[in-house]
Chain A
Amino acid sequence: MRLDQKLIAEMIEPGTRVLDIGSGDGSLIDYLFRTRNCDARGIELDMGEVTRSVAHGLPVMHGDADSDLAHYPDGAFDYVVLQRTLQAVEKPREVLRQMLRIGSSAIVSFPNFGHWQLRAQLLFRGRMPMTETWGRPWYETPNIHPCTIRDFFALCAEEGYAIRQWLAIDEKGDRAPWRRSMQLANLFGEQALFLLTKA
C-alpha cells in the first residue's frame, strides 16, 4: 500500500462504512476491511483493475466519480475517499458535493499544481510544466482540472465545507513538514490530503 494510503487509513475510524472512488488495485479497501473491520467498497474506471479486485474477493464496481455517485442514497457511507483523482474528473465541484451528500466525511488527495518546480518551469521555460507527479504532456494528460492547495482551500470556503484535517505530502506519499503554513505547503508540498465535512 502506498504511504499516502496509510495516511488516509489513519483518518478512518474502525468499523465504519467507506467508499473508495478510484480504488485501483483495491489495496486500501482490502487494508480497511482486514485491519479496521470496515465495510469498504470501491469504484474503479479501469476494467482490468475492477476484475482483479473482484477476483481478490473485494467489492468493487465499474464506474466513475462523475456519473456513478448520483446513484447512491444520502448518508450511505461514513467516509467517501477520492485518491489522486479530483484533478481528472469532469466536474470536481459536483463530485465533492456528491461525496458529501452520500458520505458524512470526504477524504480527498490531489497533486498540488502550486509546487515551486511547476511554477518555476512555467515562469522560466514558458511551457507546460512536467514533473514526476505531473508526468504527461498537456495534449494527453487526463488531469484536466489541476488546482493548487490554496485553490482547494478557497473552494472549500465557497462551498461551506469544514476542513477537519489537512496535510501536505511528498511524491512518495510521506507526510511533508509544511502543515503550519498553507503558503509554504502550497509551495513545497507535492500532494495534499484533506478530510472534509459539511460545516
Chain B
Amino acid sequence: MTPRKVTMRPSCAMVRAEHDTSMDQTSSTPITHQTESFAEGIELDCGTVLAPLEVAYRTYGTLNAARSNAVLICHALTGDQYVAEQHPVTGKPGWWGRLVGPGLPVDTDRFFVICCNVLGGCMGSTGPRSIRAGTGAPWGTDFPPVTLRDMVRAQSMLVSRLGIERLFAVVGGSMGGMQVLSWAATFPERVFAAVPIATASFHSAQNIAFNEVSRQAIFADPDWKGGRYWEEGRIPARGLAVARMMAHITYLSEEALTRKFGRKLRREPGAVQGTGPAEGAGLFGEMFEVESYLRHQGSSFVRRFDANSYLTVTRAMDYFDLAADHDGDLAAAFAGTRTRFCVVSFSSDWLFPTGQSRMVARALNRAAANVSFVEIDTDKGHDAFLLDEPDFDRTIRGFLQGCAEHAGLG
C-alpha cells in the first residue's frame, strides 16, 4: 500500500495562486512571483494593520496525505524564496541548492519544502516596494516597521492556507535562524523540530552598528532622494552597493579572505558599475582582487534588492530580542516546549559567534527542551552555512532523519 499523496505544485488548483509583479531594477523586466493574498491583512507588532497582505513563496516536493512532512525554510537578510531553483533575476542557482533538493540533507523526495519571501522583503511579499492601498504609489519609507515575529506570523498564515497544521521542521540561518527561534517561541505546537543556524536570540550591539553603517551608506547616496528614488527613476545603487560590500566582509573571516584573495592584484580597473575608471584604478592601474570581488558583490546586489527593503529588514533584525519579550528570561520563551532543537554554529563566525548559540542552547536546557548543539569547525566565517561544509550537511541530514523517526515519518 502506498500512501495517497497530495501534490502541491505552483500550478496546483488547491493553491490559489495570485501574482505580484516586481521589476528587475536594471533591465525593468517584470518578474512574476507565486504569491498568496490575505485580504484581511496582518496586525503588526507596531499596531498598524497591513492589508491586504501578500506572501510570495515557493514549494518543492510533495505534501503527504497526513500533511505532516512540511519543512519551512527561513531565509536570511538578503535571501529570498528561491531556495532551490534558478533565481529569476540573477539566473544563479538556488541560494541553498546544495542543502535542499532531491536526495540532499533537506530531502525534497521526502519532505514538502516551503520558503517564503519575508514580510518587508522585495521579492513579491508585501514590503516597501508594494503599492500602498488607496494611493497608487509604493509605500517607500512610509512602510511600517516590522518585527521578526511579524514575519513569522505572515509565514504562519501561509502555512495555514496551505492546509498545514504542524510543520515537521523550521530551518534557517542568520536572520533565518532568528525566525526559527521566533517560530518555536510563538507557535510551539506548530513546530516539531527547529534548526536555528549561525544565529542568536538577540541582535548584538556590534551587529546593530554594522547595520547602521549600511543604512547610512544608503542615506548618503545622492540618488536616495529621501527614500522616494523611484519617482525620478533612480535607485541609490552606490549606497546600496557600499552597504552590501561592508556587510559582506562581516560574513567572511580573515582566514577565508586571505585564502581566497591574499594580496593578489588584478589589472581590471573600474569595470564595475558605479565606479569610474579613475576611482577603480590603483596606483599602477591595478586593484586588489578582494576589492574587485567586493565591488562585484555590491553591484550584483543592487540589481536584485530594494534599498527601502534593506532598511526595513535590517531594522527588524536590530529590534529582535527574544528574551526581552519574556521579561529578560530566554528560557521562559521556550517554557514547556516539546519541539526538538538542533542549534548549529560555526567556529570562525564572528558575526554570530558560537557563544551566542551556546546561550540559546543553555536557555533551552533551562527549559528542559530536547536540544542538540553542534559547533562546526570551519574557517569560512558566517557564510559557512551557505557553503560546502560536509560536517554541517551530515548534521542537518542526521538530525532531520532522527526527528523523522520520532515523528513517525519513517
Task: Enumerate chain A interface residues (CB-CB to B < 8 A).
Answer: 39, 41, 47, 50-51, 53-63, 68, 71-73, 76
Q: Do residues A51 and B361 form an inter-chain contact, with CB atoms below 8 A?
A: no
Q: Do residues A51 and B368 form an inter-chain contact, with CB atoms below 8 A?
A: no
Q: Pick the contact of A57: B343, B367, B402 (CB < 8 A).
A: B402
Q: Nearest Cβ distance between residue A98 and chain B, in whole angstroms?
A: 12
Q: Do residues B373 and A57 form an inter-chain contact, with CB atoms below 8 A?
A: no
Q: Do residues B368 and A76 form an inter-chain contact, with CB atoms below 8 A?
A: yes
Q: Do residues B362 and A51 form an inter-chain contact, with CB atoms below 8 A?
A: no
In chain B, positions 361-375 with a C-beta closer than 8 Å to chain A are: 361-363, 365-368, 370-375
Task: Enumerate chain B interface residues (CB-CB to A < 8 A).
Answer: 340, 342-343, 358, 361-363, 365-368, 370-377, 391, 394-395, 397-399, 401-403, 405
Write out the residue numbers on chain A whose beta carbons fall within 8 Å of the beta carbon of B373.
Answer: 50, 61-63
Write out the residue numbers on chain B whose beta carbons fall within 8 Å of the beta carbon of A68.
Answer: 362, 365
Q: Pick the contact of A61: B367, B368, B371 (CB < 8 A).
A: B371
Q: Do residues A59 and B362 form an inter-chain contact, with CB atoms below 8 A?
A: no
Q: Nearest Cβ distance between residue B167 and chain A, in whole angstroms?
A: 19
Q: Do residues A54 and B366 form an inter-chain contact, with CB atoms below 8 A?
A: no
Q: Pick the contact of A59: B366, B372, B377 (CB < 8 A).
A: B372
Q: Pick the contact of B395: A39, A51, A73 (CB < 8 A).
A: A51
Q: Nearest Cβ distance between residue B330 and chain A, in whole angstroms?
A: 11
* CB within 8 Å for A73 and B361 given contacts A54-B395, A62-B374: no
Q: Could you list some 8 contacts between A and B, CB below 8 A? A: A50-B372, A51-B374, A54-B402, A55-B395, A61-B372, A71-B363, A71-B365, A76-B368
Write out the residue numbers on chain B whose beta carbons fall within 8 Å of the beta carbon of A56.
Answer: 398, 402
Write out the residue numbers on chain A whose beta carbons fall within 8 Å of the beta carbon of B358.
Answer: 62
Q: Do residues B368 and A54 form an inter-chain contact, with CB atoms below 8 A?
A: no
In the bound assembly, the distance between CA atoms of A56 and B362 in angstroms comes to 22
In the bound assembly, the distance between CA atoms of A47 and B342 in angstroms comes to 14
Write out the residue numbers on chain A whose beta carbons fall within 8 Å of the beta carbon of B374.
Answer: 47, 50-51, 54, 61-62
Residue from B395, B401, B405 having most chain A Cβ neighbours under 10 A = B395
Write out the residue numbers on chain B whose beta carbons fall within 8 Å of the beta carbon of A51.
Answer: 374, 376, 391, 394-395
Write out the residue numbers on chain B whose beta carbons fall within 8 Å of the beta carbon of A39.
Answer: 370
Identify the closest chain A residue to B345 (Cβ): A62
Identify the closest chain A residue to B405 (Cβ): A57
* CB within 8 Å for A72 and B372 given contacts A51-B394, A57-B403, A61-B361: no
Write out the residue numbers on chain A whose beta carbons fall within 8 Å of the beta carbon of B371.
Answer: 41, 59, 61
Q: Nearest Cβ distance between residue A41 and chain B, in whole angstroms?
A: 6
Q: Do residues A58 and B365 form an inter-chain contact, with CB atoms below 8 A?
A: no
* CB within 8 Å for A55 and B372 given contacts A71-B366, A72-B365, A72-B366: no
Write out the residue numbers on chain B whose beta carbons fall within 8 Å of the beta carbon of A53.
Answer: 372
Q: Pick the contact of A54: B362, B370, B372 (CB < 8 A).
A: B372
Residue from A41, A53, A61, A72 having most chain B Cβ neighbours under 10 A = A61
In the bound assembly, the distance between CA atoms of A38 and B16 in angstroms comes to 44
Q: Nearest Cβ distance between residue A77 and chain B, in whole angstroms?
A: 9
Q: Nearest Cβ distance between residue A30 and chain B, in whole angstroms?
A: 10
Q: Do residues B361 and A55 form an inter-chain contact, with CB atoms below 8 A?
A: no
Q: Pick the contact of B402: A47, A58, A62, A72 (CB < 8 A).
A: A58
Q: Do residues A47 and B375 form an inter-chain contact, with CB atoms below 8 A?
A: yes
Q: Nearest Cβ distance between residue B408 and chain A, in whole angstroms?
A: 14
Q: Do residues A57 and B401 form an inter-chain contact, with CB atoms below 8 A?
A: yes
* CB within 8 Å for A47 and B377 given contacts A59-B371, A72-B366, A73-B366: yes
* CB within 8 Å for A57 and B399 given contacts A51-B394, A62-B375: yes
In the bound assembly, the distance between CA atoms of A59 and B358 in angstroms comes to 15
In the bound assembly, the distance between CA atoms of A119 and B249 in angstroms comes to 60
Write out the residue numbers on chain B whose beta carbons fall within 8 Å of the beta carbon of A59.
Answer: 340, 370-372, 402
Q: Nearest Cβ distance between residue A14 and chain B, in whole angstroms?
A: 17
Write out the residue numbers on chain B whose beta carbons fall within 8 Å of the beta carbon of A71.
Answer: 362-363, 365-366
Q: Do residues A54 and B365 form an inter-chain contact, with CB atoms below 8 A?
A: no
Write out the residue numbers on chain A whose beta carbons fall within 8 Å of the beta carbon of B405.
Answer: 57
